[in-house]
Chains A and B, each alone.
Chain A
Amino acid sequence: DAGVTQSPTHLIKTRGQQVTLRCSPKSGHDTVSWYQQALGQGPQFIFQYYEEEERQRGNFPDRFSGHQFPNYSSELNVNALLLGDSALYLCASSPIRDRPGTEAFFGQGTRLTVV
């Protein structure tokens, strides 16, 4: 079992550009959540996808969007990048059909640097 895999591992973009990050969930998991972790901070919830729909959203602007595919993999898109978007982006998967709070498994993250 490969666990949660994210790509790419590192990325450098210029202000104003757009970026797409990818996540493959752990086998058997159908729910994917995305988190942003700024340097020295805890992860902040961006949004969650289940059955190819956004189910919950944190306090992030519309520049942050996502998608979930029929195979449960997911993409996070960020438009009009700002310097403040530089962070580690973490993907977490979980089996939502289990009771609430079931363990979320995290990927290694994508380190995004905006210059």
Chain B
Amino acid sequence: AQSVTQPDIHITVSEGASLELRCNYSYGATPYLFWYVQSPGQGLQLLLKYFSGDTLVQGIKGFEAEFKRSQSSFNLRKPSVHWSDAAEYFCAVFTGGGNKLTFGTGTQLKVEL
């Protein structure tokens, strides 16, 4: 069965520091991968997506992610975190048929000023 693992439940970084959020997936076919961000009480906003081609994808708000097939990973990175980046981040994989998404359990990001 398809699954997504986000091993870090909580991460705290200082403003201006770099960030990497981990995501591992289990999916038999070529994965379509996504990172979403959710602010408190809000819906999900797409940060970036990977379908094919260049394994380093750029997203909004200065985020990027790298797809590594050999490691079944799709880690999210940002060189310099801003206080407004504090939110919950979800990795997701498209699992066939329409646009059904399987999500990880999320990583809560706290930014210290």
Number of A-B residue pairs at CB separation under 8 A? 79
| Complex contact A103–B49 (CB within 8 A) | yes
Interface presence of B67 (CB below 8 A): no
Give the residues from 18 to 55 in chain B that come closer than 8 angstroms, CB to CB, to chain A.
Answer: 32, 34, 36, 41-46, 49, 51
Given contacts A33-B99, A45-B101, A45-B102, whether A101 and B43 have CB atoms under 8 Å apart is no
CB <8 Å contact, B105 and A100: no
Q: How many residues of chain A are within 8 Å of chain B by beta carbon? A: 31
| Size of B's binding interface in residues, CB under 8 A | 26
Min CB distance, A89 to chain B, in Å? Answer: 11
Q: Which of B45, B92, B98, B106 contacts A55 (CB 8 A)?
A: B98
- Tell me which residues from 26 to 60 in chain A have a Cβ below 8 Å from any Cβ of chain B: 31, 33, 35, 40-45, 48, 50, 55-56, 58
CA distance A112 to B104 in the complex (A): 22
A76-91 with Cβ < 8 A to chain B: 90
Which of A40, A41, A102, A108 is close to B43, meaning CB atoms less than 8 Å apart? A108
Contact with B along A86-115 (1 / 0, CB 8 A): 000010101010011111111111010000
Contact (Cβ within 8 A) A100 B94: yes
**Complex partner residue of B98 from A4, A35, A48, CB under 8 angstroms:** A48
Q: Are A106 and B43 in contact (CB under 8 A)?
A: yes
State whether A94 and B45 are in contact (beta carbons under 8 Å apart), knowing that A41-B106, A43-B90, A101-B94 are contacts in the complex.
no
**Chain B residue at minimal CB-CB distance from A6:** B43
Which A residues touch B99, using CB under 8 A? 31, 33, 48, 92, 94, 96, 100-102, 104
Give A contacts to B, CB under 8 Å: 4, 31, 33, 35, 40-45, 48, 50, 55-56, 58, 90, 92, 94, 96, 99-109, 111
Ordered by A's residue number, 7 sampled pairs between the chains whose C-beta atoms are within 8 Å are A4-B43, A42-B90, A42-B92, A48-B98, A94-B98, A101-B49, A106-B45
